[in-house]
Amino acid sequence: MAQGMSNSAACREVGVNRKTGNRWRYGRKIVDRAGNVRVYAPITEQPDDDAISPRFLSEDERIVIADMLRAGASLRAISRELKRSPATISREVRRNRDERTGKYHPFRAQRRAAVRRARSKEGKVRRDPELKTYIQQRLDQRWSPEQISQDLRTAFPDEPDRHLAHETIYQAIYLSYRGGLERQPETLRTGRQARRRRRRGDERATRFIDPGKLIHQRPSDVDDRQVPGHWEGDLIVGQGTRSAIGTLVDRTTRYVMLLHLPDGKTSEHVRDALIETFAGLPRELACSLTWDQGSEMSRHDEFTAATGIPVYFCEPASPWQRGSNENTNGLLRQYFPKGTDLSSFTAEQLDAVAAQLNSRPRKILGWQTPAELFAKLVATVE
C-alpha cells in the first residue's frame, strides 16, 4: 500500500484475505472466555530499526560485534571500535548469545531485541501490588532505589522475578504509567521531579557560543602520550576565587608552564596569556591544548585563530580526563595553598616554582626530569 496499491490489491499480492489485511493494518483486540484481553498492534507500529533511538544497538553494530568476536577481539576493543560503553557490549553478548554453543549471532540478536522492544510497557512494579507496596514503604522511609534493589534479594530470596535493578525502580518513580509509585519532592534525595536527559558522549557540547571540540575528537596519537607538544591546562584559584594562576602540562614530558594572570581570570586575560606563552615554543611542541569547560576558555576560538593550536574540552565533571594537569595542580598547592591571594605573586616567582617542579626526577619518566626531556626536544626541533 505504501507503493500506491489499494487494500484489496495488496492483499491479493501478499496472498491473504482482505479481512486479514484489515486486521494487519489496523490491529485487533481479542477477549477470551476468561475475560483476558489480548491486543495485536498494527503492523505499521512494529519496531523499525531506522526509527529507534540511536542509544540502542543497530543491526550493523551487532554485525561488527560478531565479526570482532570471531576475530578474537576483547569486549573493550569492540566498545572502542563502536564508541559504546564496555558494559553495553558485555550485556549485549551475554543476553543474546546462543545458550547451547555460546556463539553470538547478530541477526538472531537483532530479532530478540525487536521482540523485547515490542513487549508490554507496563512495568513489573505495577503488575505486582505486593512488590509495589514493599517498594513504596521503603521510599517513604527515604531509602534510595539502589538500597531497595539490594534489599529485595534478601526479602524475596526464592523469587528472582522480584529482584529488580535500581534503574527499574527509578523508572517506576518517574514514569507513573509504568510503576504507579507515588512521587513526592522528598521521594529521592535530589528532589528532582523529572529525569535529566542523558546524551551520548558524541552528542555533548560545551556551553560556549562556539562549542568547540570534545576530548574524544582528539587524534589518537594524543592518547598514547608518545608525541610531545600536546598540553593539558587549567586554573588554580585563590582566595574567594578572585585570583588565579594558569597551569599547563605537556602530556609526554610532564613539563610545566605557569600563566601569570595579575589582572584577572576572565576569558580575555586567559586567551592573551595563552597566546603569549605558546608564542615562545617551537611549533612542533605546540600541537594541541586540552582544557575543562570553565568559562575562562569561552574565547578558545580566538586563541586557535591566533596560534593555530586546536583546543579540546573534557566532558563536564570529568577531571580525570586531564590527569597529568590535576596531579600537577595538587603539587602546586604546596607553593600556593588554598585561600592565598594568587595575584600577589610575580611572573618571576611563578617561573621559579615551575623550574623547581621541572627539575624534580619523576618515576614515570624513568627518574629523568621534565626539564631534561623538554630541553632535548627543543634542541631537536630547532
Q: Residue 171 has what pLDDT?
A: 85
Q: Residue 201 has what pLDDT?
A: 52
DSSP string, 360-379: S-BGGGTTB-HHHHHHHHHH
Answer whether 149's CB lies under 8 Å from 169's CB: yes
Cβ atoms < 10 Å from Cβ of 277: 19
DSSP string, 156-193: STT-GGG---HHHHHHHHH-HHHH-----TTTSTT--S
pLDDT tens sequence for the chain (382 residues):
877 778 888 888 888 888 888 888 877 777 777 777 777 777 754 444 456 778 889 999 999 999 999 999 999 999 999 999 999 999 999 999 888 888 999 999 998 888 777 666 677 888 888 999 999 999 888 888 999 999 999 999 999 889 999 988 988 888 777 677 877 767 777 776 677 666 555 555 666 878 889 898 998 888 889 899 999 999 999 988 889 999 999 999 999 999 999 999 999 999 999 999 999 999 999 999 999 999 999 999 999 999 999 999 998 878 889 999 999 999 999 999 998 999 999 999 999 999 999 999 999 999 999 999 999 999 988 6
Number of H helices, E strands in the chain: 17, 8
Q: Residue 22 has what pLDDT?
A: 83
Q: Residue 51 has what pLDDT?
A: 60
Q: Residue 373 has what pLDDT?
A: 94
How far is residue 259's CA from residue 261's CA, in Å, rounded to a whole number? Answer: 6
Q: Which candidate, 252, 297, 304, 254, places its Cα nearest to that of 278?
A: 304
> Checking phi first, is residue 336 left (phi over 0); if not, alpha (psi -120 to 50) or beta?
beta
Hunting for cell 528532589 — which residue is that? 191
Answer whether 206's CB lies under 8 Å from 212's CB: yes
Answer whether 279's CB lies under 8 Å from 271's CB: no
Q: Taking the domains of the chain in order of start, what are their residue ranges?
A: 7-44, 59-118, 124-179, 213-381
How far is residue 127's CA from residue 134's CA, in Å, rounded to a whole number? Answer: 13
- The CATH number that domain 213-381 falls under is 3.30.420.10
